[in-house]
Amino acid sequence: MAAAESPSAALRRRDLCSRGIRLAGKMRADVVDLLDAYVEQQGLDASASVAAMEGVPLAAVERWDEQTGTQRLLENLAAYRAFRTLLAQMLEEQREQLGEADAGLGRALAAVLLQVSAFAYHLEELLRLESRGIPGEEGDGPPPPPRLSLFEQKLRGLGVLRELAQWAVRSVRDLRQLGKPSSAAGTAPGLAESP
Amino acid sequence: MSPIKRIFYQDGFYSPNYGAVSVATDKNYIYPGFGGLYIFNDASKEVRRKRAYGKELTSFFEDDVYSCLKLLFLNSRRMWKNSSLRCLLALAILCLRSLMYSQEIVSPGDPQNLKCVTHNLHKMLCTWDVSSRRKHGQTDFCYTTNDLTPQVCFKTKERRAEIPVPESSITVTIGSSGTAFPTKEFVIHQKDIAFVPVTPRILSLMPDFPTSTLNLKWSDNGSIFPYGLDALWEIQILRKEAMEVVTQVTYYSKLTHKDIILFWNWTSDMPLECTSHYVKIRCYINATQFVGPKDWSDWSPAEMIPGKDAEPGGSGVFPLDPVVAVGSDLTFCCVHEEDQHITNMTYGSKSYTMIQLSRRSHAIRVLNASISNTSGTNVVCRLENGYEGSVVFVGYAPDIPQNLSCETPNFLIIKCTWKPGRPSGLYGERRTKYSLFERTSGKNVSCEVNEVNRDHVCGFPVLPDQKTYDFILGVSNPIGQAQSSLLVDITKRVHPKMPEKLTVTGDNSTSIQLRWFINGSFAETRLLCQIEISSSHSERKLHNVSIPGRKSSTYTAQLNALHPDTKYQLRVRCSAADHFWRWSDWSRGVEQTTSEAPPARGPDIWRERSPSGESLIVFWKPLSLSESNGKIVSHEVSCYLLETLLEHKVVFEPSNSTEIKLGKSDCMISVVARNHAGSSPPSKITSVELPSDNITTDQAVAMGNGINISWDSYPNMTCGYIVKWCHSSGSEPCSVDWQKFPSNTTNAVIKSDLFKPGVRYNFSLYGCKSMGYQLLKNVTGYMKELPPKTAPNFIVEETSSDSILVKWEDIPIEECRGFLKGYLLSFAKGEKDALKSRLSESGNPELKVNNITDLTKKSMKILDLQGKTSYQLELQAYTAGGLSPPNSLYVVTKEDSVGLIIAILIPVAVVVLLGVLASTFCYRKREWIKETFYPEIPNPENSKALQFQRNICEGNKTLKTLEMNPCTPNSVEVVETQSTAPKIEDTEIMSPAAETAVPEDGSDSEMENHVVVSYCPPIIEEEISNSPMDEPGGSSQVVYIDIQSMYQPQIKPEEEPETGLVTTAGYKPQMQLPISALKIEGHSPVEEELDKTAGYRPQANTNTWNMGTPDSPGSVESNNENASFGSPCSINSRQFLLPPKEDEDSSKPINTGWSFTHFFQNKLND
C-alpha cells in the first residue's frame, strides 16, 4: 500500500506527522507545567508513586518497535480518547470541589483537555490518510467508575497527568516513526494485517 | 462462717478491714436489710447494696455478725479513736436482728433464706431454700397481707413464687404438701423487699459515620410503674476489642405510666470506623413511696457498632473527607489489612505519632487544626504497598451577614446585598450557601453567590400587593449557619436603573428637549430626575425634574435658558421622588450644540490718530464667548459726520483694527460685530481729541498683580476715563489695549496676562467729555523691576599720573528693565588678568566705590591715583531690581617725570660733590696718605728666597708679591661645600671623558667652554642594558626620556613603580657621567667609588641648565639646589630636554622663584 502511496499523500502524511509532533511537544510541555501546578495545589507529594489505575491507558508497551503504523495510530487514538474523558471528569470534579476558587488550575486543565481533543482529531486525520476506518467511540463509554474519595480523586488526577505526559512523549516517537519515508514500507504489513 | 471478704461499693471495692471503719467515719451506716447488707450515706441518701442475694439470710447474717465482731475487734483502736457511735449501734442492731432471725429459722430442714425482689413495685418474686431432703415434691405456699384478707395459697414445685408487693407487710407460710415437715411462716415487711428495676433493653443503636455519632434508642418501660417516677439511666460507651470505657453518662427521664421510647446520641471524638464501639445501659427508678431498698438494674447486653477494622477487607483513612471548624482537635485513623505495615501518617506535610487502636487500626491526633487551603488538607497513611488517604477541609462557620440591604430597581425584583464577613475558607460543594426567606409570604429563594468575587447579591421577586417584606437571610455551610433579618418597605427603597436611550432634540439657540427610557414599573410612584448640564465655558449645572412614573416608559424634559452656540454635555439620573433613597447611575452623556444668535452687545472700541494725523485707527476688542453668541465673522466700521456716512468698512476676522482716512476732520465712529445669526448693537466713539497741556509722566510699579495708576478727579470728565496702553512683543508692532472706567474713579489697577516683568509699559490716561477725549497724563510702569540687562558702556577719556576721567553712555530703555536709580563706579589697583574675578567680588581692600545717583551725569574724574600704576575700573548701573553686570576697564596712570628727574639728579649731585671733596682732600694730603697706606716696600725679586715664584707665575714678567691680580689656578677642588662662585672653572668638566659626551640634540656642542651636561639615564633596564654596549668604557651619552612617560610617574606613580625612586628625586641637570658607572639597582661598587671620588662635581656651565629645569616637575623645590654651583650630581636625577609646551605658560608664575637663576643665566648668556 505504501508503495502505491502517491507523492502527495506521502507529503500530506509527513506534514501531518510533523504537525502532530509539534502538537504533542506543546502538549507535553503544558502537561508538565500542569502537573507541577496540580501537585502543588492539591498538596500532594510530587514523588508519590501512583499505582496503575483502571481506565488510565498506559504508555508503556512491549515490542514497540515491532508495531505497525496503524497500530500506533490506533493505540494513540484510543489513549487520547480515554484521556479526553478522564480530563473532562477531572475538570468537572475540580469545579465541584473548588467552585470559582483557584480558577487558574481549571483553566490549565481545560487547555490541556482542548489539546488532547485536538490531538485525537489529528490522529483521526492521520488514520483517514492511511485509508483506515476510524474506530467509533463507544456510545456511553465505560460504566462510570465508583465514586472515589477526594484523596483517591487527587491521586487519580496525578496518575492521569503523569501518564498523559508519558503518552505525549510516546506519541512524538510514534509520529516520528510514522513520518519517516521508510516507515511507509513498515506500515504496509501492519495495514495488511489489520482488519 | 466465712468472713466478709469485701463490701461492694458502687465505685469499687473497700477492704473489710478499712471499709467499715471508713464507712462509719464518712457518715455512712450499715443496715442489714432483706437481701443484703446496705450501706447508707447521710449526704446523698443513695443506697448501696452489698451483693449477697444469693446467700441464705441465716448464713449471711451469721457471716456478717462474725464480720462485724471481727471488724470491731480488729479495728477497736481506730474505732475508739473515732468514737463512731452509730457504727456501734448499727452493729448492735445487726447482731440483734441476726439473733432474731436465727431464732425463727432455727429448725434444720425448714425453708430458709426467703428473699423477695420486686422489679415493678406490683409483684415481687420470692425465693427460698430448702434442705436437700425436701427438694422434691410440691410446696404449699400461702400468703396473706393482713387479717382481713383471706389467705392465698397455691402449690408450687419451684422454690419461688410471685406474690403482690404488700403495702406494709405480708405473712408467708411455706410448707410441704403431704410431708411431716413443719410449715414455716415468714413475715415480710415492705422495707425488706428490694426494688431492682427491670434491665432495660436497647431498642436500636444506629451509627452516623460522617458525624461519628451514635444514636441510642430504648424504652423506659414506664407502663409498669406508677406515674411520675424519676428514672435515671446510666449509659456506658466502650471502645476497642478490650471494651475500654470511654465515657459513662447519666440520662434523666420521668416515667409517665406509658412506655416511652427514649433517645440519646453521643458524638465520638474518634471516627466510628476506626474501631468497634459498644453501648450498655441500666436504670435506677427513684420510687420514693417504696420504703425498701432500691438499686440499679443490671446492665443491658452491650450493643456493638463494629469498626472498619472488624470488617474483612475494610481499609482507608477515617473520617473520610470531613469538614471541620478551625481550631478543632481531630483524630484520624488508618484501617488496613492485618498483614500490612504503616510507614507513617501525615496531616498536611507533618508526620504524627501513631496510636494503635487495634491490629488493623492506627490513629493520629491533630490538635487545633488550622484553616486548610482550597483543595483541603491531605491526611495520608503510607503503607508498604500504597497509600490510603482522606482530605479534610478546615474552615470557619459562616459569619453573620452584615449590612443587609434590600432595594428594588424596577418594582419587579428586590435586590438584597450584604457583606459576608469573614471568609469561610470553604469552596465548591462545601461553600457557604445563602437563602432569602420572606416571612410574610413564606417564600424562600436560594441565592447564587459568587464566593470569589465577593459579589453578594440575591434577588427576590416583588409580590403583588405587598410593600413590606420581612426578609431572613440564611447562611449555612457544613460547619455552621447564621442568619440576618431585615424588614423593608420597598416603596422607600427604590434605586432605579441607569436611564437608557438618552437623546436630544431641538435646534433652538436657547432650549433643547431631552428624552430617556427607564425600565421598570414605576406607575405608582413619581420619579425625580436630575439633568446635568455642562459646557466648556460654564460651570456644571444640575436641573431637577419631577415626573410621574410609568411602566417601562420614555420620559422627556425641556431645558430652557441655554446659551446660543454652545456645546452642552448632558446626562440624566433618576430616583424615587416621594421617598428618596438613592440616585441611579448617570446615563451615558450626550452632546448638543445650540444654534447661534446675534451678538449680545457691540464690541469695546478705541481709536487713535495716526502719527501723521491724517488717518484714524479704530481698535475693538473681541467679544467674549458669552457675548458673541456665535462665531464673529466680521466687524463693520462706519464713520458718520452728522448722520452722514463718510466711510464704511467691513473688516473680517481675525483683524481687530482698521484705519480710516479721515484727514484732519473728525467723525463719529460706529462698530458692529456680525456673526452668522446677525449683527450686534453698534458701539460708538468720537474721533475728536481735545487738546491738553502740562502732560506729566509718572512712574508706577505693580503692587500685587497689577499696575496701579491713580489720577486726580476731573469734574468735567463726564463720561469716564480710559487708560490706554500698548503691548509690544518683540519685533511685532505694538498692540493697543485699553480699559474704561466710570467718571467717579480716580485710580485703577491695570491687570493683564500679557504684562511681563522687566518690560516698560506706557499708559495714557484719557478723560471722556461729551465733545471728545482728552489726554490727562502719562504713566510709565513696570510689572516688576529687574536688574539692568547690560552694563553701561564707558571709556577712559583722559589719564594723568594721578587721575582718570571716565565717560559712559546711557543704557537702552529695553535693557534697563526697571527705573534706573544710578551707577556704581568701582576702581582698585590691578593688572589685566583673565583669571581675576570681578573687582566687586575680589574683596580687594583698596577697592573704592563711587555711587553716582545723578542720572544726568555721564562722566566722572577719579583723583588721587598713583602714577604709572595699573587700575581696574568697573561700572554698573542699578535699578530697584538690582545691579547690572559690570563693565571693566584697565588703565595705567602716567609716570610722574618731574619727580623721577629730581630723584635722579639729587643723588648724582651729591655723589659728584662728594667726589670733588674727596679728590681735593686726597690731593692735598697725598703725601700723608702715601706714607700711611702705601709705604715703600722692597722688591721681593731681589730676594733669593722667593725665586720659586717664577715657576708659579711663569711668563708674568711683572710679578709682585702683593699684586692683587687674580691668578687662575689649574685646578680647584671643592670639598663638602657648595661653591657659589660662578667664575670657578671645574677641571673635571673639562676632562677628556666629559668632552667626549655629545648631546643628541647638539644644542650644547658648540658651547665655548665645551662643557657637556650629562643626564642621568632613567632606571629602565632596557635603556641601561643597551647603553654600555653602545657606548662602552665611559663614553658619555645624553638619554632622552619620553616626556609623556616622564610625566606619568608624576601623575600616576603606581603605574611605574620601578621609576618611583627616580621621579621622586626630581629632574636635575647633571654632569655627564660614564654610563658604565650608572647601575640601576642600588649603589654598585663602581658607583660607590664614583660617589666617593667624584661624587660631588660642580656644574661648570650654567648655560647648559637651559630652560628645562623650571619645567621639570618639582622644580620649585629643586631651585635652590640647581642654583648652587658645584652641587652634587645625583645619579638618579633626570632631565627633560624638551619640556611640554603647556608647561611653559604655567611655569611663568613660578619663574619668579627662579629669578636669581634667570638673572644669572641671562647674564651668562649675555
- Which residue from B272, B270, B277, B243 is spatially nearest to B363, judged by alpha carbons? B270
Superfamily, domain B794-833+845-902: Immunoglobulins (2.60.40.10)
CATH placement of domain B311-395: 2.60.40.10
- Say if CB A66 and CB A168 are below 8 A apart: no
The 10 Å CB-count burial string (b at 16+, else e) for B433-460 is: bbebbbeeeeeebebebebbeeebebbb
Mean pLDDT calculated for residue range B407-418: 93
- Say if CB B450 and CB B464 are below 8 A apart: no
Where does residue B882 fall: left (phi above 0), alpha (psi -120 to 50 degrees), or beta otherwise? left
Instruction: Count other C-beta atoms under 10 Å from residue B17's C-beta.
Output: 13
Three cell numbers written together for B234 = 446510666
The yes-or-no verdict on residue B723 having pLDDT over 80 is: yes
- pLDDT digit string, tens, across residues A164-188: 999 999 999 999 988 887 654 344 3
Cα B847 off chain centre by = 58
- pLDDT digit string, tens, across residues B701-711: 888 788 888 88
Three cell numbers written together for B1016 = 642621568
Average of per-residue pLDDT values in chain B? 74
> A45, A151, A154: best mutation site toward chain B, by most B Cβ within 10 Å?
A151
Three cell numbers written together for A152 = 483517591
Mean pLDDT calculated for residue range B77-91: 48
Give the pLDDT of residue B1108: 38
- pLDDT digit string, tens, across residues B764-777: 899 998 888 988 88
Average of per-residue pLDDT values in chain A? 84
Mean pLDDT calculated for residue range B652-658: 88
Instruction: Give helix B16-25 / helix B57-74 axis angle, nearest 10°.
Output: 80
Measured distance CA(B6)–CA(B16) in Å, rounded: 5
Contact check, Cβ <8 Å, A42/B378: yes
Q: Which of A45, A51, A97 sits opposite B375 (nearest CB)?
A: A97
Vertex B452: Cα angle to B446 and B455 (nearest 5)? 55
- pLDDT-wise least confident of A51-55, B354-358, B496-500, B533-537: A51-55
- pLDDT digit string, tens, across residues B927-943: 888 888 887 777 766 66
- For residue B68, give the H/E element and its range: helix B57-74
- pLDDT digit string, tens, across residues B476-494: 999 999 999 999 999 999 9
Measured distance CA(A104)–CA(A158) in Å, rounded: 17
> A98, A155, A158: best mutation site toward chain B, by most B Cβ within 10 Å?
A98
Contact check, Cβ <8 Å, B431/A41: no
Domain holding A110, by residue range, is 2-135+145-193
The yes-or-no verdict on residue B996 having pLDDT over 50 is: no
Vertex B1062: Cα angle to B1059 and B1064 (nearest 5)? 105
Give the pLDDT of residue B732: 62
- Say if CB B694 and CB B774 are below 8 A apart: no
Q: What is B605-782's CATH topology?
A: Immunoglobulin-like (2.60.40)
A140 within some domain: no
Distance from CA of A161 to the nearest CA of B (A): 17
Contact check, Cβ <8 Å, A44/B378: yes
> B391, B393, B450: best mutation site toward chain A, by most A Cβ within 10 Å?
B391
Q: The domain at B397-492 falls in which architecture?
A: Sandwich (2.60)
Q: Which chain B residues have a beta carbon less than 8 Å from that of A95?
A: 428
Q: Which residue has the cell 455512712?
A: B28
pLDDT higher at B186 or B105: B186
- Say if CB B194 and CB B116 are below 8 A apart: yes
Contact check, Cβ <8 Å, A42/B453: no
Maximum separation of any 2 CA atoms in chain A, in Å: 56
- The Cα-based distances of A54 to A82, A160, B316, B487, B562 in angstroms read 11, 10, 19, 56, 80
- For residue A106, give the H/E element and its range: helix A103-129
Give the pLDDT of residue B415: 93
A122 within some domain: yes
Q: Which chain A residues have a beta carbon less than 8 Å from that of B378?
A: 42-44, 151, 154
Vertex B69: Cα angle to B67 and B72 (nearest 5)? 110
> B375, B383, B450: best mutation site toward chain A, by most A Cβ within 10 Å?
B375
Q: Which residues contact residue B910 at a Cβ distance below 8 angstroms, ignoring those fewer than 6 apart? A: none
B747: which strand partners? B710
Three cell numbers written together for A162 = 503523569
- Relative to beta strand B887-892, strand B355-358 is unpaired
Q: Which residue of B has its CA nearest to A152?
A: B389
- pLDDT digit string, tens, across residues B358-395: 999 999 999 999 999 999 999 999 998 888 999 999 99
Chain A and chain B share a number of CB contacts under 8 A equal to 75
Confidence of residue B895 (pLDDT cuts 50, 70, 90): confident
- Say if CB B875 and CB B887 are below 8 A apart: yes
Q: Which residue of B has its CA nearest to A41?
A: B375
pTM: 0.56
Three cell numbers written together for B727 = 503691548
DSSP state of A21: H
- Relative to beta strand B773-782, strand B697-701 is parallel
Q: Would you tell me which residues 94-123 of chain A have a C-beta closer than 8 angstroms to some C-beta of chain B?
A: 95-103
- pLDDT digit string, tens, across residues B826-854: 888 877 765 556 666 666 777 888 888 88
Mean pLDDT calculated for residue range B1084-1099: 39
Evaluate the omega torsion of the peptide bond into residue A181 and state whether it is cis, within 30 degrees of 0. Answer: no
Give the pLDDT of residue B1074: 39
CATH placement of domain B111-195: 2.60.40.10
Q: Which residues contact residue A87 at a Cβ distance below 8 angstroms, ignoring those fewer than 6 apart? A: A109, A112, A113, A116, A160, A164
The yes-or-no verdict on residue B1029 having pLDDT over 90 is: no
Three cell numbers written together for B387 = 497509600
Measured distance CA(B511)–CA(B667) in Å, rounded: 42
Give the pLDDT of residue B586: 95
Q: Which CATH class is domain B500-594?
A: mainly beta
DSSP state of B159: S
Confidence of residue B587 (pLDDT cuts 50, 70, 90): very high
**3-state percent helix, strand, coil for chain B, nearest multiple of 5:** 20, 40, 45
- Which residue from B404, B410, B397 is spatially nearest to B437, judged by alpha carbons? B404
Q: Which ranges in chain B are annotated with CATH 2.60.40.10? A: 111-195, 311-395, 397-492, 500-594, 605-782, 794-833+845-902
Confidence of residue B68 (pLDDT cuts 50, 70, 90): very low
Distance from CA of A152 to the nearest CA of B (A): 7
* B455 inside 8 A of chain A by CB: no
Model ipTM value? 0.89
The yes-or-no verdict on residue A33 having pLDDT over 90 is: yes
Query: Domain holding A130: CATH number?
Result: 1.20.1250.10
- Which residue from B1129, B1009, B997 is spatially nearest to B1066, judged by alpha carbons? B1129
A88 within some domain: yes
Mean pLDDT calculated for residue range B271-292: 92
Give the pLDDT of residue B755: 85
* B451 inside 8 A of chain A by CB: yes
- Say if CB B81 and CB B42 are below 8 A apart: no
Give the pLDDT of residue B141: 86
**3-state percent helix, strand, coil for chain A, nearest multiple of 5:** 70, 0, 30
Q: Which of A48, A51, A97 sits opposite B429 (nearest CB)?
A: A97
Measured distance CA(B913)–CA(B917) in Å, rounded: 6
Evaluate the omega torsion of the peptide bond into residue A142 and state whether it is cis, within 30 degrees of 0. Answer: no
B895 backbone dihedrals φ, ψ, rounded to 5°: -75, 145
Confidence of residue A91 (pLDDT cuts 50, 70, 90): very high
Give the pLDDT of residue B405: 93
Instruction: Count other C-beta atoms under 10 Å from residue B574's C-beta.
Output: 28
Q: Which chain A residues have a beta carbon less than 8 Å from that of B332?
A: none
Confidence of residue B348 (pLDDT cuts 50, 70, 90): very high
Distance from CA of A99 to the nearest CA of B (A): 4
Contact check, Cβ <8 Å, A154/B391: yes
- Say if CB B861 and CB B804 are below 8 A apart: yes
What is the number of domains present in chain A?
A: 1
A168 within some domain: yes
Contact check, Cβ <8 Å, A150/B377: no
